[in-house]
């Protein structure tokens, strides 16, 4: 939570700037109105700065996606709350997250500017950006009915962040398998293949390679080192647990 203390202390207020800094200022009730446009003493890629940007972008864009089909459903609100609960936010953080979600629902929300700044702040940390995109896909699929506008928006977000269409397709398959697993408490064999992004016709070696790659991409400690807010460790941990269960199921079936 060190980044949050730095934020409240005013330092991040001086250096974050851009639409993400402005939204954080609103979410915190103007606690660091002074100098939001300044680049300050921290460089792009600084861990605390990345953590603040990740927090701000995550919840504001979640709100934007929830409103993409014209209305925010109870399931979408519950999905946002689930992420907030996983993070075990304190009262100030929870209030800020909710305000950011509301900011994202605003018709004047500057999506592309937010995405551009977020990508710049992450400083080529692709696994971190992928985790962000996976969270947004989960929001889009929260009500069990992926609306066309939501899907188009996810593709736009992913491509703005540097992901190819086929890579976003893979993340959708991962999310579908993950959603089924959460619903039924354990993955089906089809879900397991979807989670690993492999086919039943793939070799054992190919499946093991995909498993190891996904475990590395979602390793909580590695993601925190790259700028994932410490409060999101549980989100990353649940991802690795799903990947591990999927791999175990495939291995068991093949044996």
At 204-255, the pLDDT tens digits run 999 999 999 999 999 988 898 888 888 788 888 888 998 999 999 999 998 8
Q: Which of 122, 24, 103 is nearest to 65 (CA)?
A: 103
What residue ranges do the domains of the chain occupy? 2-31+43-254
Give residue 82's pLDDT. 81
Question: Binning pLDDT at 50, 70 and 90, where does residue 146 land?
Answer: confident
Q: Which of 90, 127, 96 is nearest to 236 (CA)?
A: 127
> Cβ(70)–Cβ(49) under 8 Å?
no
> Cβ(233)–Cβ(224) under 8 Å?
yes
- C-alpha 87/C-alpha 68 separation (Å) is 25
Q: Tell me the mean pLDDT in the region 31-59.
A: 65
Q: Tokens in use for 248?
A: 């175990």
Give residue 41's pLDDT. 40
pLDDT in tens, 84-130: 887 778 888 899 999 999 999 999 999 999 999 999 999 889 999 99
> Cβ(244)–Cβ(196) under 8 Å?
no
Model pTM? 0.83
Q: What is the DSSP string of the chain?
A: -HHHHHHHTTHHHHH--HHHHHHHHHHTTSTT-TTTT---SSPTT-HHHHHHHHHHHHHHHHHHHHTTTSS--HHHHHHHHHHHHHHT--HHHHHHHHHHHHHHHSTT--HHHHHHHHHHHHTT-HHHHHHHHHHHHHHHTTTS---HHHHHHHHHHHHHTT--HHHHHHHHHHHHHHHHHHHHSS--HHHHHHHHT--TTS-HHHHHHHHHHHHHHT-HHHHHHHT--GGGHHHHHHHHHHHHHHHHHHHHHH-
Following CA atoms 100, 26, 1, 34 in sequence, which dihedral angle do they give, to the nearest 10 degrees?
A: 150
- C-alpha 11/C-alpha 145 separation (Å) is 42
Question: Binning pLDDT at 50, 70 and 90, where does residue 22 land?
Answer: confident
Q: Which of 45, 51, 35 is nearest to 232 (CA)?
A: 51
């Amino acid at each position: 939570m060190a980044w949050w203390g730095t934020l409240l202390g005013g330092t991040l207020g001086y250096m974050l700037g851009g639409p993400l800094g402005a939204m954080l200022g609103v979410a915190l009730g103007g606690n660091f109105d002074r100098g939001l446009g300044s680049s300050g003493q921290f460089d792009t890629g600084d861990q605390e700065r990345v953590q603040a940007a990740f927090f701000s972008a995550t919840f504001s864009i979640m709100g934007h996606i929830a409103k993409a089909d014209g209305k925010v459903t109870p399931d979408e609100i519950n999905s946002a709350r689930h992420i907030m609960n996983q993070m075990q936010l304190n009262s100030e953080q929870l209030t800020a997250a909710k305000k950011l979600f509301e900011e994202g629902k605003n018709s004047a929300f500057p999506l592309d500017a937010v995405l551009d700044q977020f990508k710049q702040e992450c400083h080529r940390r692709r696994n971190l950006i992928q985790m962000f995109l996976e969270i947004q896909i989960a929001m889009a699929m929260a009500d069990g009915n992926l609306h066309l506008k939501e899907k188009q928006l996810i593709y736009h977000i992913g491509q703005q962040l540097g992901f190819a269409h086929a890579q976003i397709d893979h993340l959708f398959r991962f999310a579908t398998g993950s959603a089924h697993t959460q619903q039924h408490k354990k993955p089906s064999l089809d879900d397991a293949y979807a989670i690993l992004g492999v086919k039943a016709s793939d070799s054992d070696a190919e499946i093991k390679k995909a498993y190891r790659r996904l475990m590395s991409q979602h390793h909580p400690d590695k993601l925190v080192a790259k700028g994932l807010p410490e409060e999101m460790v549980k989100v990353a941990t649940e991802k690795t647990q799903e990947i591990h269960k999927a791999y175990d199921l495939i291995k068991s079936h093949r044996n």
